[in-house]
Structure 1
Amino acid sequence: MNHDAFEDAPRIVTVLVAAMGGEGGGVLADWLIAAATAQGFPVQSTSVPGVAQRTGATNYYIEIYPVEAARLGGARPVFSLTPSPGDVDIVAASELMEAGRVLQGGFVHPRRTTLVASTHREFAVAEKSAMGDGRYDGRRVSEAARELARHSHLFDMRALAWRHGTVINTVMFGAMAGSGALPFSREACEQAIRASGKAVEASLKGFAAGFEQVAHPAPEATASAAAAPPRTLIDPRIAAMPEPLHELLGHGLQQVLDYQDARYGALYLQRVDAVLALERPFGGELPVTRETARHLSLWMSYEDVIRVADLKTRGERLQRVREEVGARQGEPLRLTEYLKPGLDEVCSLLPPRASAWLRRRLAHKAHRLNVGLHMRTDTVLGFAMLCGLRSLRVLRRAGARYAIEQAMIERWLDTVRAALALSPRLAYEIALCGNLVKGYGETSERGHRNLGAVLDDMQAQFAAPPGDAAALVQAAERVRAAREAALADPEGRTLARALGLPPPAPRVHPIHIVRRKPAR
């Protein structure tokens, strides 16, 4: 940046860093301060910790006066402790929704602000706990960033940091320097990193990657070509189905095969084909078959303790953990898994009759059986225990949970096929109801209960088939309203109102008082 311009009309350069806990936002602020101080510029930094965020979001605010203090004749600039909307020169956000939070606050101005943000997501609790797809639409944030900022530089900084074995703050620093908005050179920034004396080589690699990404971005055509997935062979059974379904069915079959075995995959395709055979005469893009295939693959690969153990012992998962914590090649890593198995997890593995007997015997003290475990899976014993649990996959078909899930799947599919005989739109809405069942424990039980209520209501409708098209449209709208009500209210009261049912009885959640042992 031209220092003469600052001398002609000196103005304080304002920088706002929006980061989350563990991402090095404080270290980034220290680097900015060190670089400014080395140039002799007056600088001030403040931080404001956030609340109710995913991992403790914090705003770091830095003001830099880009004139050497020795040339001010004893005068000192007056700095502000907090940023003002529309009065920030550089905004750096470590995650897409953090960028959205800054945009919503009005800190990005179209005639002043340079925005540097990572496009990856760290989902909020509200997004992850939603009964349906609770994810916020990141495209709206990206579009707003490009519209509201003077200059915007958006890319996946986390992936770039992992690729270079460093933390995201180094890539953010490089991107800020590469944008040309900082009042000092690249060399000054790199010297600030060296002066910190911590993980210097890795930090410099991340800085250089972020700088090059912004200063010399790759052409879009090259980037898209590099990102194009390789073409894979299509299963002959899928190739015999309509072409618009190939990609979706390929992913669905792979999901089911990975979960169980080839016989289970054949059952998946057989179930999809039964719906397809009924929808083919209607032509079009086959929306009922598409949504049935989508939700069926997810439902057939339902979460249980065997699946959890399988995923936790995979090499790619262990490698991802190493990358997330920044462990170097060959560096020991201590990994502790937090598990809380209970009566439900044990009974789900047993045969149906044994499971029912054990539930009756232990139901009165089920809460005491939920014991939290800290399992060291970096040890031979801990990892072997998970591998042993994973090996029970061959016995999954004999378990009570398998029987319950398959029975409900068949009931859902029967209702979809029965609806197709009346109206594709009605069948489509029922197919979407497959999204109601997910998770395990109480979440899975609630999904089964909600879906069962919807299917019971439809069976009553089928007992006296609607006589005209208007009645079928009304039935489809009834299913849609019931599905949305079930996803919006975990207690089921909204669903009961939508279906004209009595409200469910409040669930009993006992309060357990644990006496604290006196300190010795």
Structure 2
Amino acid sequence: MSDRGIVSSLRYLFADFIGEDDAEPPFLPEGLPEPVMALASEAIHLLIDYQGPSYASLYVDRLRRFVGKQGVDDTMLAEIARLMAIRMSYEDPIRIAQLKLTELSGQPVGSAGSVDIRKFRLEELISALPAVIAEYILDAVEWAGLAHKRVSIRFSTKSRFGIRRLKIEAGLRRWRPLSVRYAKERVWVERWLHMIDRALTKQPQAAPAIIHTATMIVGYGEVYRQGMMDWNAIIDGLVKPTFDGVLALSDLAGAVTEARAAAVPDPRQSALKRKIAELRARVAAGAYTTVPSS
């Protein structure tokens, strides 16, 4: 993570920790191209609702790094802005409770309400707690072999009790920056942005492919876990070695596309690991060519 990224994250964390976030909503970055303004403005409103003005300011600080940067056109900047907003508003139980509560505003008086049942991994639920508590619990459930146990959670607007529970869960958002999950997401976003920045310097034609790797990570539960594992495998096996000069991939974008096509739901990542090994072997043999995806 860059020094600027660390300072922005700490400034946001401190603002939220000392009390209610009453900071002013941030302005759009100076010099932001007009075609990106509406998208970035929507992202700011989304993140204020998600966590607060200071969190939206962190988004603006991150986006500002790419405004006017060589090699970043309006389309590329818009994709960075869009995908970063999605990742910064990641789905955790707190967010799902927030969204469930919004249904109440659109319901007619006397409506019966509804119930959503979501399946999380136990470690995922614990990771939403402040790290000072969660780390001890995570160690215990890992030791007991229960970390990946699936747990069903009800999000209900059908009763006063259900609505009260949703409000309590949604209210936990102020503690989100202290959670294990937040720390992991912060590191991920910074690493993703860092890889984009390195692509612009080392292999500019690969930058769009690196930007779009963010779409690999979605949702929660097993889908989220699989996406995160696959993303790290591709970055660590192909992207970073290429930027470090260890792997001479002349067409990194094509290699990333091939690897993503091999990423299927599989906790062992067998097909993906074989594909990455194959791509690396082609480079070693001096016969690297991309294979068009069907």
Q: What CA deviation, in whole Å up to 9, does each residue of 1:316-344 have, x standing for no partner? A: x2355x4xxxxxx5445253443555522
C-alpha displacement of 1:277:
4.1
| SS of residue matched to 1:247 | helix
- Tell me the distance in 2 between the aligned counterparts of 1:481 and 1:334: 45
- Asked if 1:428 is matched to 2:216, the reply is no
Q: Deviations over 1:58-105 (max 9, x none)?
A: xxxxxxxxxxxxxxxxxxxxxxxxxxxxxxxxxxxxxxxxxxxxxxxx
Instruction: Give the share of equivalent positions with the same residue, in percent.
Output: 27
**Alignment map for 1:314-325 (pairs within 5 Å):** 314=102, 317-318=103-104, 320=106, 322=107
Match of 1:460 in 2: 241
Label 1:334 to 1:390 Cα distance change in 2 as closer, same or farther (>3 A): closer
Contact persistence 1:438–1:447 (CA under 8 A)? yes
CA contact (8 A) 1:348 1:399 kept: yes
CA distance in 2, matches of 1:294, 1:407: 18
TM-superposed deviation, 1:434: 0.9
Following superposition, the deviation at residue 349 of structure 1 comes to 2.0
1:392: Cα distance to partner? 0.6
Instruction: Check if 1:298 corresponds to 2:79.
Output: no
1:501 CA drift (Å): 6.8
Cα RMSD, aligned residues only = 2.9
Matched, 1:500 2:280: no
The reply on whether 1:260 has 2:51 as its aligned counterpart is yes
Match of 1:243 in 2: 34
Letter in 2 for 1:384: R
* Alignment-derived partner of residue 490 in structure 1: 265
* Counterpart-to-counterpart distance in 1, 2:155 and 2:55: 31
1:377 pairs with one of 157, 161, 166: 157
When the two structures are superposed, what TM-score results if normalisation uses the length of structure 2? 0.75
Give the conservation status (yes or no) of the 8 Å contact 1:337–1:377.
no
Q: Secondary structure at the match of 1:306?
A: helix
Match of residue 17 from structure 2: none
How many residues are aligned here? 251
C-alpha separation in 1, matches of 2:111 and 2:129:
37
Please name the residue that 1:476 is paired with.
Answer: 253
SS of the aligned residue for 1:500 comes to helix
- Would the alpha carbon gap of residues 373 and 437 (structure 1) be closer, same or farther in structure 2, given more than 3 Å must change? closer
122, 126, 132: which one aligns with 1:347: 126
By percentage of residues, which structure has more helix?
A: 2
Distance 1:447 1:405 in 2: 13
Other-structure match for 1:289 = 77
Determine if contact 1:339/1:372 at 8 Å carries over to the other structure.
yes
Which position in structure 2 is the counterpart of 1:169? none
Rounded Cα–Cα distance in structure 2 between residues aligned with 1:342 and 1:383: 23
Checking the alignment, whether the CA contact within 8 Å between 2:199 and 2:206 is kept in structure 1 is: yes
Which amino acid in structure 2 is aligned with residue 303 of structure 1? E
Structure 1: runs of 5+ lacking an equivalent: 1-234, 323-328, 503-520
Amino acid paired to 1:482 = A
Runs of 4+ in 1 over 6 A off after TM superposition: none
Q: What does 1:138-177 align with in structure 2 at a 5 Å threshold? A: none
SS at match of 1:490: coil
Displacement after TM superposition at 1:376 (Å)? 5.1
Paired amino acid for 2:129: L
Change (3 A) 1:384 1:245: same
For structure 2, the 5+ residue unaligned runs are: 1-25, 280-294
1:446 matched to which residue of 2? 226
Aligned to 2:67: 276
Equivalence for 1:163: none
Question: Helix, strand or coil: the match of 2:32?
Answer: coil
**What is the rounded CA distance, in whole Å, between the counterparts of 1:341 and 1:308 in structure 2?**
12
Give yes or no for the alignment of 1:417 onto 2:192: no
Over 3 Å counting, the alpha-carbon distance change for 1:337 and 1:453 in structure 2 is closer
For residues 494 and 276 of structure 1, do their structure 2 counterparts lie closer, same or farther at Cα, with a shift above 3 Å needed? farther
Indicate the larger mover: 373-382 or 265-274: 373-382
CA distance in 2, matches of 1:297, 1:236: 15
CA contact (8 A) 2:120 2:221 kept: no
1:326 is matched with none
Q: 1:309 Cα shift?
A: 0.7
State the 1:238 CA deviation.
4.2
Q: Which residue in 2 is equivalent to 1:437?
A: 217
| Separation in 1, partners of 2:247, 2:113 | 62
Query: Contact between 1:342 and 1:371, CA under 8 Å: does it hold in 2?
Result: yes
Letter in 2 for 1:254: H
Q: Which has the larger radius of gyration?
A: 1
- Cα distance 1:286–1:494, how it changes in 2: closer, same or farther (>3 A)? farther
TM-score (norm 1): 0.44
